[in-house]
Amino acid sequence: MAARGAIVHAVGMMTAIGAGAKQTATSVRAGVARLTESAIHDRRFEPIVMATLPEPELPPLEPAVAAVPGLTSRQMRMLRLAGPALREAVADLPDATAVPLFLAMPEPLPGRPDPAGERFLGHLAAQSGVRFAAAASRLFPCGRAAGFAALEAGLAALASGTAEHALVGGVDTFVDLYLLGVLDAESRVLGEGVMDGFVPGEGAAFLLLSAGGAPRPGGAADLARVAAVATGEEKGHRYSKEPYRGEGLAATFQALWERAGADLPPVRTVYAGLNGENFGAKEWGTAQLRSAERFADDFRLEHPVDCFGDPGAALGPVLLGLAALGLHGGHLEAPCLVWCSSDREERGAALLTAASGG
């Protein structure tokens, strides 16, 4: 049985266009983009265009974290991205020690170790200064759609009564020479001679949720309501030998409608996990056509990766946070569909409504 919905109370973010959730949301609404030539070069010796935070906008590693042996440069950068975003999300919460964190992380490359590592949550607590309920927390290392698996786990924890509040987030960065080399060799990095590619980015986002009956934390508002979430799998994913038919996202949408119920009005806004590659666009087309009756004729489609690049596993939580802030500010119409697809099997989608449930 699907877990009940939840209220979004607060959002924290770090993206290429904003050192905070409100700045990111305002920049997206204004169409601000930060896509610049990086110091990293592709196989044609051309600078790779990326969307990253300037070094001065990232805090240094805490001494206790910096002293940890064996941390990779990618792990260190993810910790520096996640710390401020996590602190922003819990700013109005007096005590987070009983709050579990469900965190979306990047997919491992074949034959390579997990990019996060099993001790990442402990390092994040030390870097951020936020003492969340580490023993009840989990990592979801499955890329762009991981945020929806994390959201499912967060809603389940709230529905079970084991927690009054839950944190759902994601963090990732493409500032990694080996990763960029693999993507470049696959002609997936947008650049000279590559039209079907994406701009590598980075980011972190966290949402503070409650089941609705819990006391509102501090001065936090009720931003939006998560009405339903669903996850699925695509057998014919990018790295599979199975034929690609876009079945995974279409089936995920169908599961989402069932969980949301027949009374939900047609979708008015879509925050799409499109990153510029044709692979995702074809899948979205298939999924939307098979659920055409669930969409308003004039629904609004947003794909803000155009502004901040592809932030990998952070994309789902970033889009969920932007949707919640947009609904709260009256800039978006509800219901709002948010979806993402990972490079491999995982697919995810969620429906957000106004905090009152409308």
- 3-state SS track over 171-197: EEECCCHHHHHHHHHCCCECECCECCC
For residue 155, the model assigns a pLDDT of: 97
- In the numeric block, the tokens 């279409």 are attached to 250
- pLDDT bracket for residue 3 (50, 70, 90): low
Confidence tier at 357 by pLDDT (50, 70, 90): low
Residues 133 and 269 grouped into a single domain: no
List the beta bridge partners of residue 14: 204
**Among 3-12, 179-188, 246-255, whose mean pLDDT is lowest?**
3-12
Q: Is position 19 within any domain?
A: yes
Give me the domain span that covers residue 314: 227-353
Model confidence over 265-304: pLDDT tens digits?
A: 999 999 999 999 998 999 999 999 999 999 999 999 999 9
Q: Are 112 and 318 in contact (CB under 8 A)?
A: no
Nearest to 147 by CA among 348, 352, 353: 348
In this structure, what are the phi and psi dihedrals at residue 172, rounded to the nearest 5 degrees? -165, 160
- Give the Cα separation of 218 and 210 in Å (integer): 13
Tokens of 193: 């001679």
Tell whether 252 and 179 lie within a shared domain. Answer: no
| Prediction pTM value | 0.96
Span 224-262, pLDDT tens digits: 999 999 999 998 788 878 887 779 999 999 999 999 998
Write down the pLDDT at residue 2.
42
Name which of 156, 356, 189 is nearest 275 in CA terms: 189
Last residue of a domain, one of 166, 181, 210: 210
Render pLDDT for 40-60 as a digit per residue (tens, 0 to 9).
Answer: 999 999 999 999 999 999 999
| Integer Cα distance of 307 and 316 in angstroms | 15
Domain holding 248: CATH number? 3.40.47.10
Q: Does some domain include residue 246?
A: yes
Q: Is the CB of residue 104 less than 8 Å from the CB of residue 146?
A: yes
User: Residue 52: its pLDDT value, please?
Assistant: 98
Cβ distance 315 to 303 under 8 Å? no
Check whether 358 has a pLDDT greater than 50. no
